[in-house]
Amino acid sequence: METSSFSSMLLFQLLMLLPAFIAASTQPKMSQTYIIHMDHSSKPDHFSDHESWHQHTVNSVSLTCREDKEPFLYSYTHVMHGFSAKLTPCQLTEVEKSPAHVATYKESFGKLFTTHSPDFLGLKRSSGIWPTASYGKDVIIGIIDTGIWPESESFSDKGMSKVPARWKGKCENGTAFIPSLCNKKLIGARSFSKGLQAAGINISTEYDFDSARDFMGHGTHTSSTAAGSYVFGASHFGYAKGSARGIAPSAHVAMYKVLWSSDTFASAATDILAGMDQAISDGVDIMSISLGLAQTPYYEDVIAIASLSAIEKGIVVVCAAGNEGPSTSSIYNGAPWIMTVGAGTIDRSYLATLELGNGLKFEGTSYFPQRVSISNTLLYFGRDDPKKSGCVSLSRTEVMEKVVVCDTTNLTDLYGQMEVVSNAGAYGAIFLTESLFLDPEDYSIPGILLPTRYGNEIMEYAWRNTSIVKSMQFVSTKTGSGPAPEVAYFSSRGPDPISPHILKPDILAPGVDVLAAVRPDVPFMEAGGYDLLTDYALYSGTSMAAPHVAGVAALVKAVHRDWSPAAIRSAIMTTATKGDNKLGTIHDQWNGLTATPLGFGAGHINPNGAMDPGLIYDLDTQDYIQFLCDLGYNETQMGAVIRRSQWGCHNNHTDLNYPSFIAGFNQTTSLSEKQFTRTLTNVGAPGSTYWASLEIPSGMIVSVEPNTIKFASKYQKHKFVLSIKLDKNAPKVNYGYLKWIDDHNHTVSSPIVVTNY
């Protein structure tokens, strides 16, 4: 009886499941999305356009396969002739029976490749400083530069907050610029040229605009780097393709044009001063300056003078360090109230691939802006003549329509070699080089840069009469490359020539191959005999690094509205990273050797860390006045810098409360020890205790007193003294770190640099 009941129950369950089994066996497979490439010449004449033909094709197969759903998605007329649709296997089969069918591409999904420095800096939508700072909402960044291209998508105000009520600026009317071009993103645009014109330098009416409109793209690039809105699908001729956006994409931008096109690019100090003055008056929060004047004492440096005035108003001033590296003491904008920025590389490379006729394959650097594929092309190498082998001089009859191998090992003008090869009519070039660089706009013909370690095997093969390039392919971007960051070869180095006892630069930030908006209506470059235009381009320079830091300063300002400029700089410096993405120390791009803080300052900028530094080294105007007093400036010189008739100086020398240390020793002095007094302010939790940790190499003896500090309350201050002794056999430049560490995951790090010349 029990057995019979069990069998009846099992039969009942099977009968209940049977309809589901039957349905599952008879239901067609799930539909999928496909891209269907069609022969556009096969369109019947009775269709008015290709889209109507594509839609009819899909509707017809739907009827044949008895499908009621509307699967049609898009019709394509430019990327290809065809359409996309979500099709069942039956529908796909019917489409592919059509004589007009060319190819089928199954739908694929790719991950987002950004443009790319925000990712390299660790900025994320869901965590860290971006969401905490609301992406820089309500912060105003003033850019002192060459103007702006207001129509760029990077300055769209979609999703922007309203203009802050405190804003006093405006958009001026001028040549090809009307006030209505401004919006909630671009809230101010002014130009300053009276000083230039008074000096008898005429502004070029052929290339420039008598307005805030950008004549060369530089100001547009820096502005969009600092605070550009999201732009999808931006790229440099296919390189670095992804979503472009600024470091503080919700911040507002104001442009102050002070650099103009004349016989050369020119900017008068009076105009720079006027632009900075107006920016202060208008109410900017951050000032980003990617230009510099001659290295002069502060009382002759209008950027330093105007910057101190801005600092007094609570404005953070960020300046490019200059592009005169790798020479030492080449720093510009090194006043201690300015945040001075060096340029570093990022973990993204632009590549071409090369395969020779003997099967050897190589991957090298290239920015050639076209997806050409060179195949089965003769190879040329002038081995017996140094001028030919180095591509200093080439015979057109010998290299015409060939790929030329250029051994540039002992040469210093790679751009010149590219010009020689191009003018000789070569089809492409292979440059064997170790430390030379070409800018993206220099690739007038297909060219690839390869390390000299590949030289022997390439040159030996190229010398044969039958040698060929089997394949050269371009427009490839790789992220995650490294080591990165490295100090860019061109980035100016310390010690600062005006104040060598202040470590400069302060910080390293992305400044190599930064993709951002540019002027779109003039050729960026010439390649293959064609002028090429672009909306976005790769630029390099400390000009590109400075707006990265300006953007980070805007984010920190948005989180900590009451912090002083010195506090924001301290937070950025003391939380900087000291290593690269390969877990090594930061190196120098120029020679591949380990870099020093004379190139990278406190380290590479770390936006998320700067949001919560734990401790800060703060400063106010009186501290800077005392600093100038200690330089021995007379009353006239002091008055020129601080713009007042009365001030107070202490008789005793006092250290500037800077977040870094540099001590200079030399063989002509008997001084063997230097001391620095600093004051820490707690911006973390009350009751925090910090312990001093010293990371010091041989050749330096460093001590800290006290080495433990307890802060009973927030904003409490404590002093400490750091002492440095030098070993006679120490290297010319040596460095270590002082780190204040608590039990709340704060590490407050300062570089200690010793020079021994």
Beta strands in 506-583 (DSSP E): 507-510, 514-517, 525-527, 530-532, 536-539
Residue that is written with structure tokens 């309809």 in the block = 19
User: Which pair of structure tokens corresponds to residue 493?
Assistant: 């180095």
Task: State phi, psi for 625 to the nearest 5 degrees.
Answer: -60, -45
Alpha helices by DSSP H, listed for 373-499, are 386-389, 396-399, 414-423, 455-462
User: Which pair of structure tokens corresponds to residue 747?
Assistant: 């590490």
Sorted by sequence, the CB contacts under 8 Å of residue 643 that are 6+ apart come out as: 305, 308, 309
Catalytic (active site) residue 543 = yes
* DSSP string for residues in 576-591: -B-B-TTSSB-EETTT
Q: 3-state DSSP call for residue 85?
A: strand
Which residue among the candidates 145, 282, 285, 618 is catalytic per the annotation?
145
Sorted by sequence, the CB contacts under 8 Å of residue 454 that are 6+ apart come out as: 362, 432
Give, rounded to a whole angstrom, the gap between the first and last alpha carbons of the chain.
105
Contacts 24+ apart (CB under 8 A), 170-175: 171/212, 172/211, 172/212, 173/211, 174/209, 174/210, 174/211, 174/212, 174/213, 175/209, 175/210, 175/211, 175/213
Is the Cβ–Cβ distance between 177 and 229 less than 8 Å?
A: no
Sorted by sequence, the CB contacts under 8 Å of residue 177 that are 6+ apart come out as: 150, 171, 189, 209, 211, 212, 213
Which residue among the candidates 444, 543, 660, 749 is catalytic per the annotation?
543
Question: CA 234, 239, 242, 243 torsion: positive or negative?
Answer: negative
Task: State phi, psi for 512 to the nearest 5 degrees.
Answer: -120, 125
Catalytic (active site) residue 506 = no
User: Which pair of structure tokens corresponds to residue 357?
Assistant: 């006729």
C-alpha closest to that of 80 among 39, 43, 49? 39
Which residue among the candidates 54, 81, 116, 218 is catalytic per the annotation?
218
Strand 140-145, strand 72-76: pairing: unpaired
* Sheet arrangement for strand 72-76: 72-76, 82-87, 32-38, 101-106
Catalytic (active site) residue 218 = yes
Angle at 548 between CA 191 and CA 623, to 5 degrees: 85
What is the C-alpha to C-alpha distance for residues 687 and 714, in angstroms, rounded to an integer?
A: 8
Sorted by sequence, the CB contacts under 8 Å of residue 305 that are 6+ apart come out as: 273, 298, 299, 640, 641, 643
What is the C-alpha to C-alpha distance for residues 604 and 610, in angstroms, rounded to an integer?
A: 12
User: Which pair of structure tokens corresponds to residue 285?
Assistant: 């929060």
Half-sphere exposure of residue 690, counting CA atoms within 13 Å on the CB side?
A: 34
Residue numbers annotated as active site: 145, 218, 543
